[in-house]
Structure formats: structure tokens, C-alpha cells
Structure 1
Amino acid sequence: MALPSRSARRLTLTATAGTALVCALGLASAPANAASVETWDKVAQCESTGNWQIDTGNGYYGGLQISLATWNAFGGQAYAAYPHQATKKQQILIAEKILAGQGAGAWGCAPGTGLSTDKAKPYPDGNDLTGDGKADLVALESDGSITAADGTGNGFSNYHKIATGFGAHVNADRLN
């Protein structure tokens, strides 16, 4: 199995010794205007004390304090009538569009949060199991257990078994 080229900016993850099969998760390059869930949480902490369902009556709604006009202009109506009625993930998905269209200056709390410098996708291609905006790893071990590891953006940490009992008869070829 050939690995994707570096010019394609994809990284295929392979397992360490003893791992029988790996679910290879791709890490695509992030768009120029994007931010991780961790960064959006910092913005929300400043904007609304982290309350994603807040409506204080000031004309701004939800964790990221988005006006109704901006919410509608960037497609928020697909999720909810008002930002505070949408889930955290839905608010972040619309905020990503606002960030791409208006820049980090759309939020008064952007300075100091990393919003203008964080280029990570908040929900990268379904490979983010923990919701932190970084792709995670899942591997089927030769003993039949499944191990997961949290993506750090630079590798993986917090390796832990998440399931057992999948049989030890799995035999995988060495991945190159």
C-alpha cells in the first residue's frame, strides 16, 4: 500500500508494533480561515461565559454571540431560527463561515483566543472522535481489543482501550 505523497498534504497513520489493523485516518490540510473547537470554546468563554444557549436580549445569541442578521446571512437558518437554539457544533459550523467571510474581527473577544492564528478544522472529516478539532486514531490490536488515541495535531496521546472481544485471528499485512 503506497502512502499518499506529501504534496497531497495527507498523512496516513500506521500502528506501532503489535497492532494488527489500523483504521487509517487522513489529516487534510486546514483551510486558511478555520479554528479548532478548543479555540471556539475560548471565544465562547469570553463572549458568553461559555453558555451556548444564552439569549440575554441584547441582539446577540448563543455561545459565540452571533446576531440574527449574520446567522441568517451565513446559512444558520438551516439549523435553527436563532443561534442559541442550535447546538454548539452547529453554531461553530456557521461561525466557521463567518470567520472565512469576515475574519476574526467579527468577534470582540478574538484577541488572545488564537482565533486569528489557529488554522485547525473544528470537525475534520469525521475523524475527530473527541470533538476537539483534531483527528483521532482507532486501531484493532492483535489481541482483539480496540485502542483509541487522542489527536494532538502533532501526533497522538492518551492511548486507551475502548473495546475488547473482537477475536485475535486478525492478520494484517505490514503497511508501508
Structure 2
Amino acid sequence: MIRHRWRPSARALAGLALAALLALGVQLVAAPSASADPSAATWLKLRMCESSNRYTVNTGNGYYGAYQFDLPTWRSVGGQGRPDLATPAEQDYRALYLYRMRGWQPWECAGMLGLRNDSDGRSKRVPGYADSAYIGGRVPAPVPVGKPAWPGVVYAYGDCAEALKTFQLRMNAFGYGFTGTGCYYDKTRQAVLDLQRANGINDSGRLGPKTWKAAWEGKPPR
């Protein structure tokens, strides 16, 4: 009777190799997992909600700059002076630093926007300036006086964009009282619907080219 020779499985071979390495005193170190920071678009949404993307804002309420730092929080991540006097790149860096220390918790707008921590949130990994360069913060251009060109995007509930800020500020001419967050929520949707109904546009609640044009050239909504 021929006996079948035992052949070790791949798992058994791996176990034997591991045991041999450990016997030789070789330390096995797991490779660090890939990390991820919030996208530039996510940071823009946060800035729009917090400060209308204004890096130099100081309303006198104790919160400063695009990310609305208070001074103790700013200093806790190494910030010097006042946030609104720092460059956009410096504010972006300190915001990423804070995010890696505490996640989205410090920002009230993060909860309003439904933002969730990713693998770097609260990781305690101190970033370098190169890590925050992708955020790309800059001081926004002034809102045009005349009718601005259609931005080429149909906006809907939950969107945030510079063009939405322009639309909101335009609607203040009709008494809406927007602060210019640039984010499309209930108040913006109501303004869009009012404008559409006043101008015979299908009241979809979406800000498309006809509604955009009506904001400057159509009948007032009220």
C-alpha cells in the first residue's frame, strides 16, 4: 500500500516561516494604513457654512477667519496672532491640524452638514504644510455688481458653492436677508421657488439657468 506523502499547506508554510523569523529575533512591523483627509470640496462646504468662505472675517463675536476659530482653539494647534490676520494657507493648515486632533467636533457647521470623520479624524497625526496645500483656500473675489454669467451648474438642496452665495446676496435685494453662506438649504430653496413662481418657471426648487437669469432680469418674487 502506497502511503501519500504529507504536503504542507500554504498556511502551514507561512506559519513555519513566521516561527522561524521570530526564533531569529526578527521583529515584524505592520505597514501603516493609508490615511485620508477630507476633500477640498468638503472643506469648502465647511467654510461656506462657517464664514461664507471669508478668510478675513471678524464680526466681533470672538470667532475669526474662514474656519471661525476662537483664540484658545487657534493657539491649541500652534496658531499665532489672530486667525483672520493669518494667510489663507495658514488657516487651512491649522484647520487640518485641529481636524486631526479632534475630528469635526469643534465645528457646529460640521454637524449641520452631516460630516463624518474619516481615517485621519482624531488620529493625532500632526500634519505638515504640504498636507494642507490641497485645501487651496483663497480670499474669494467680490460679488459682481452686474448680472454674473450663468455658472453652468444646476444647484439643488444640500449644494454649497460660490455661485450660490452670489445668488443669495442678489436675493437680498428682495428682502430675504441672506448672510451669504453659499449653501442651499430651506431658505434658499424657498427663495428659488418664490422666484420661479413669480416668473412662470417650473417650480422644481432647483436653481437652473432660467431661475438664475430671473434673479437679475425677471419679476421680483415678492
Q: TM-score range, shorter-chain basis?
A: 0.3 to 0.5
Higher Cα Rg: structure 1 or 2? 2
Instruction: Give the TM-score normalised by the residue count of structure 1.
Output: 0.47
- Between Structure 1 and Structure 2, the one with more helix by share is 2
Structure with the largest fraction of strand:
1
Q: TM-score by structure 2 length?
A: 0.38
**Higher RCO (CA-CA < 8 Å; seq separation 6+):** 1
